[in-house]
Amino acid sequence: MRQIPVDTTNATVMVAKAPQPKVKDRRTGEIALDKDGVTLMTVEVMFSTPDEVEILKLTVPQPGVSEDLTMGTPVALTGLVASAWENEFNGQKRHGIAFRAVAVTSLAAAASTSKAA
């Protein structure tokens, strides 16, 4: 599957929903792991550019998620990529774009430090 890098240079990004473990199977509650056995997290962010605002649901390995990410926290996204997906379930075709990042890092500490200076 082709991964397309996403340019975040001119975007303002903030947490829309606090990180949650990514669920692999809703029926069993099984948590998703990457190929190395690391827990995957889901982080919803508001991705705002001068032309539009979208809510993106990102998949991020747990070690790449900053602590204390709450709604409204400004963040930086490291290694953000988009991948198209398609599947068929019960005869219904579904498709979309999945977003994955290496890390979601809080900018709140940096903002409060620069205000104090």
Q: pLDDT per position in the chain (117 positions), as tens?
A: 689 999 999 999 999 999 999 999 889 999 999 999 999 999 999 999 988 999 999 999 999 999 889 999 999 999 999 999 898 888 889 899 999 999 999 998 665 555 544
The pTM score is 0.84
Whether residue 114 lies inside any domain: the answer is no
106, 74 in Cβ contact below 8 A? yes
Structure tokens at 18: 């606090």
Whether residue 40 lies inside any domain: the answer is yes
The CATH number of whichever domain residue 94 belongs to comes to 2.40.50.140
Whether residue 112 lies inside any domain: the answer is no
Whether residue 117 lies inside any domain: the answer is no
**How many structural domains are present in the chain?**
1
Whether residue 61 lies inside any domain: the answer is yes
Whether residue 49 lies inside any domain: the answer is yes
User: How many Cβ atoms from other residues are within 10 Å of residue 37's Cβ?
Assistant: 6
d(CA 101, CA 111): 22
- What is the domain extent for residue 65? 4-107
